[in-house]
Amino acid sequence: MDPDGEGERPLRREPSGVTASDPPLSSSSSSSSAAASAVCARGHPVLRPAVPVPSDIEVSQSIVRDVGLLPIEIVASEAGILPPELLPWGIGKAKVMVAPTLRRLADVPDGNYVVCTGINPTPLGEGKSTTTIGIVQALGAILGKKAFACIRQPSQGPTFGIKGGAAGGGYAQVVPMEEFNLHLTGDIHAISAANNLLAAAIDSRMYHEDSQSDDALYRRLALAKSGMPFTSVMRRRLVKLGIDDTKSPEDLSTEERSKFARLDIDPSTITWNRVLDVCDRHLRKIEIGIGPAETIQPRGTNKGEVPRVQHSRTTGFDIAVASEIMAVLALARDLPDLREKLGNMVVAYSRSGMTVTADDLGCGGALTVLMKDALLPTLMQTVERTPVLVHAGPFANIAIGNSSIVADRLALKLAGEDGYVVTEAGFGADIGMEKFFNIKCRASGLKPKCAVIVATVRALKMHGGGPPVSAGKPLPREYTDENIPLVRAGCCNLVKHIENARKFGVEVVVAVNQFKSDTAAEMEAVREASLAAGAFDAVVANHWAEGGRGAEALGRAVIAACEASDVGNFRFLYDLALPIRAKVETISREIYGADGVDFSELAEQQMAQYESSGFGNLPICIAKTQYSFSCDPKAKGVPTGFRIFVREIRSCVGAGFLYPICGDIMTIPGLPTRPGFYDVDIDVETGQVIGLF
């Protein structure tokens, strides 16, 4: 994540994207079997792309206006979801009741599991989300397969700031894209509410502990209502402390009461920040508790003996999607698992070195209540009316970068043995795909059959030594003129990603996402390099301009790769029993090609603390730049002779991983000089959103 937000917002696709070479689909077209009639393989109207392709929001609004959204109840019915399992949210989206649907489909074999990832991108993006949607449109609308896309919900921070939306693009996108990219069904708002409730609980608890005796604390916590038993979350703390949880509050000894009531948080160990879904660099570091009411009479002193002291500390904000609660949402298997993960989140340590969790603060149950509806995936549709499950949205360079286990499990059952689920892994394969395999698949128990790696001629030219690519500036001639040697030189980046994917035992299909300036010879050079590196197939796709028809060959390649795959070959990169250091070194050497890893003194201390706390067996989620295999975003191709520097290691114990922070990675981005919100407005006559992309 660019800490300053400059140079990140991509150009609109028109100047650099595909211009459809074929006429719009119609009943007279004979270029594909799906175009030979007025309806597609699923019985819906054939997509008729415009030439040239309009902006993403214009495409979305034209679909809604001219073709019409398929009522979400019909989308659900065609997907195999029964009416009692659906919670409609307007005409274009709905929540899906996961538990009853999975119970009903428990004996149905899973569909074919496919992950879509990419090479290290340019700042303009290479169309990974668009390709995910394009493949599913090809599988469903063109080839007649039952197919689902599982994608992340975008953060409003980048949408209004530096990156734009993430609904796909052109004629391979989720509609309505305005709803997809904005509030959707409120999941990110729920995450913000839950995260900030826990943050408030931390500071409030320290405030009260610093001004009250153990006896006063205990009376207010456990004896406020005579005869009331310990609450459920209180009993969890009793079990943790080794105190008999069948006792009543009145029965605890003086020593037990003190242990129960006083968390004794060491402020220097607090890792929990507040969050908001906005890019706001000025909140990265703040001081709280400086108001006149935030003073205390120190514990053990009487009023007037010593002056009251300010109860303040330094903290900060993260962007909402960087919250551990977002990671928990992505990795929880069901509601009971969500409750356990939220309660187990470690937010600090006591002065004696004991972990302090959300359940210790009494928050675990309340957090789950705030998140119960967010656990349900949102059902939407593509421009060709194929189903999409939108769920979770953790960033890939600071979190796991994948949509949820819940959505994937649900889609795999709905798709059935002959169906397909394409789930997206964010940013380059060195980040999103590695985390998908080693963290998400380990947590879910699901085994993918195929990895689709998205590449563009443009990005490969950059990796081959082409000049820098910057948002908002015209592309240099190297990118618009044929330059086969530059493409071949840059294919080293793609080859390394293919080799990495094959280490996990999955088949690899390369999707060459075609732009209008790409020549046949350049794209053939990419195909040749891919096949030589061991890819199952490499296919040029034009879904941005043509929808599913433009990705038909890619869809067929995915089908063939899944048929050829043996899930028994799937394997992880490292054993969880390895020490933290060894796991970080394995990822750095095997995936990034680093010579080794250097740890700061702080990171060394944190590794020792985590291992002594019993967290050493967690998987690793490295936070680093998406633009290079190394931690230097300017190091293109396949860098050599470098080392990874880990400046600190944070824990996401509830979600179930540790994340080393490498390089200049921030957990809340800033706004660029000209943010995206300059373009966004509303037609006050029609209420239609304009300028969003």
- Residues with Cβ within 8 Å of residue 616, at least 6 apart in sequence: 579, 580, 607, 610
Q: Given this model, what pLDDT does residue 8 score?
A: 38
> Does residue 399 sit in the same domain as residue 419?
yes
Determine what percent of the chain is predicted with pLDDT higher than 90: 76
Provide the strand spans (E) within 456-605.
507-513, 537-541, 596-599
In a domain, 685, yes or no: no
Domain end, chosen from 569, 598, 619, is at 569
In a domain, 675, yes or no: no
319-346 tens-digit pLDDT: 999 999 999 999 999 999 999 999 999 9
CA atoms within 13 A on the CB side of 556: 9
Q: Given this model, what pLDDT does residue 164 score?
A: 61
Least confident window among 412-426, 612-626, 665-679: 665-679
In a domain, 1, yes or no: no
H or E, element range at 492? helix 484-502
> Does residue 543 sit in the same domain as residue 613?
no
Q: Given this model, what pLDDT does residue 165 score?
A: 63
**Cα separation of 308 and 507, whole Å?**
66
Does residue 4 surpass a pLDDT of 80?
no
- How many domains does the chain fold into? 3
Residue 569 or 666, more confident:
569
Q: Find, among 197, 190, 196, 162, the residue nearest to 666 by Cα.
A: 162
Q: Do 136 and 472 meet the contact criterion of CB atoms below 8 Å apart?
A: no
Active site residues: 128, 130, 152, 163, 396, 427, 515, 544
Q: Do 339 and 183 meet the contact criterion of CB atoms below 8 Å apart?
A: no
Q: Do 491 and 529 meet the contact criterion of CB atoms below 8 Å apart?
A: yes
Label residue 348 by pLDDT band (50, 70, 90). Answer: very high
State both tokens at 436: 């998908």
> Does residue 546 sit in the same domain as residue 640?
no
> Does residue 465 sit in the same domain as residue 353?
no
Does residue 691 surpass a pLDDT of 80?
no
> Does residue 525 sit in the same domain as residue 410?
yes
In a domain, 9, yes or no: no
> Does residue 256 sit in the same domain as residue 384?
no
Q: Do 321 and 190 meet the contact criterion of CB atoms below 8 Å apart?
A: no
**Cα separation of 381 and 195, whole Å?**
30
10 Å Cβ neighbour count for 545? 25
Does residue 29 surpass a pLDDT of 50?
no
Q: Given this model, what pLDDT does residue 25 score?
A: 30
Q: Which amino acid is it at 16? A: S
173-223 tens-digit pLDDT: 999 988 888 889 999 999 999 999 999 999 999 999 999 999 999 999 999
State both tokens at 570: 């799937």
> Does residue 170 sit in the same domain as residue 196?
no
> What is the average pLDDT across 73-96?
96
> Does residue 87 sit in the same domain as residue 161?
yes
In a domain, 574, yes or no: no
Label residue 569 by pLDDT band (50, 70, 90). Answer: very high
> Does residue 532 sit in the same domain as residue 389?
yes
> Does residue 343 sit in the same domain as residue 391?
no
> Does residue 20 sit in the same domain as residue 56?
yes
Q: Given this model, what pLDDT does residue 162 score?
A: 66
**Cα separation of 577 and 620, whole Å?**
12
Q: Given this model, what pLDDT does residue 379 score?
A: 98
Residue 161 Cα to chain centre, angstroms: 18
Label residue 23 by pLDDT band (50, 70, 90). Answer: very low
In a domain, 407, yes or no: yes
Q: Given this model, what pLDDT does residue 6 score?
A: 43
Task: Kindly report the CATH number assigned to the domain that includes residue 311.
Answer: 3.30.1510.10
In a domain, 668, yes or no: no
Task: Kindly report the CATH number assigned to the domain that includes residue 600.
Answer: 3.10.410.10
In a domain, 683, yes or no: no
Task: Kindly report the CATH number assigned to the domain that includes residue 79.
Answer: 3.40.50.300
> What is the average pLDDT across 20-25?
32
Average pLDDT, the chain: 91
With 0-12 CB in 10 A as exposed, 13-18 as middle and 19+ as buried, what is 575? exposed
Does residue 124 surpass a pLDDT of 80?
yes
Label residue 227 by pLDDT band (50, 70, 90). Answer: confident
| 3 state DSSP class of 61 | helix
User: Which domain covers residue 172, as residue numbers?
Assistant: 15-183+378-569
> What is the average pLDDT across 498-520?
97
pTM of the model: 0.92
> Does residue 20 sit in the same domain as residue 117?
yes
Q: Given this model, what pLDDT does residue 93 score?
A: 96
**Cα separation of 325 and 655, whole Å?**
8
